[in-house]
Amino acid sequence: MVQKADKIWFDGQLVPWDEANVHVLTHTLHYGVAVFEGIRCYKCTDGSSAVFRLKEHVDRFFDSAKAVEMNIPFTREEISAAILETLKVNRLEQGYIRPLAFIGDGAMGVHPGDNPIRVIIATWPWGAYLGEEALQKGIRIRTSSFTRHHVNVMMTKAKVAGNYVNSVLAKMEAVADGYDEALMLDVDGYVSEATGENIFIVKKSKLKTPPLGSILGGITRDTLITLARDMGYDVVEQRFTRDELYAADEAFFCGTAAEVTPIREVDRRVIGAGKAGPVTMLLQNEYFKIVHGENLKYAGWLTSYEL
């Protein structure tokens, strides 16, 4: 269950959590056109709090809106300021931030007409998405029977709410079959991503991740590519198949919610030693140093705020 906060930012105003409501004929509720972001803030080792890569998340929020011809009635600077304001009023030192822009009520039909674009920002405490144990021991995943979207079927580079029906179905299928997460393939049968995470494999200390085709360009993915290369690793953005994944020394998912989560088993095949591998754990450790403000080389990725 999401832990309630005091306030939600709604169309420029801070309103009580239980009063942030919409009409049942809200266009997005019927047709799925909304854009959103998932952002994390962390308690830093110096006692301050900071949002990780706020600018990049807000930029993607607006890029997603452009992809679906949605004009957000606030500037990027206003949304960034509203995120920090909401964190402060809710006195949230560490947790999750969810901006969402959606089409309000008015015209009812596929074309939204002049229905208003509404925007909310919610924040709440949230720990490890796949569980604290998963960060250390790794997770079991299965290849989904559902294929990831073709690039001309949906706007695959945009975080559009309707896109995630595909993810919900794949996740429910995997969980019902006793797995932690689903692996999704693209329309050509190559590894794409998970239901809400990007994927990396490691073979002989070389990292490989799918290119920006059918996948969402994850900000954590970009962070890890930069970090790994700075650490001297060879990182390749290249398509790969399931059998290449099966034969990998290590594999891991990454994302704002999942952070860096090792994969220990895929389709009943044990990956590597069947536990989090050394490269994965090193990257995970360095990633957490960055988000907690311990690596000043990447301090520009943190936006501090005071409660």
Residues forming the active site: 159
CA distance linking residue 302 with residue 42, whole number of Å: 9
**Which residues, 6+ apart, have CB-to-CB distance to 60 below 8 Å?**
37, 159, 217, 219
The type of residue at 85 is E
CA distance linking residue 305 with residue 307, whole number of Å: 7
Question: What torsion, rounded to 10 degrees, do the Cα atoms 222, 160, 242, 128 define?
Answer: 60
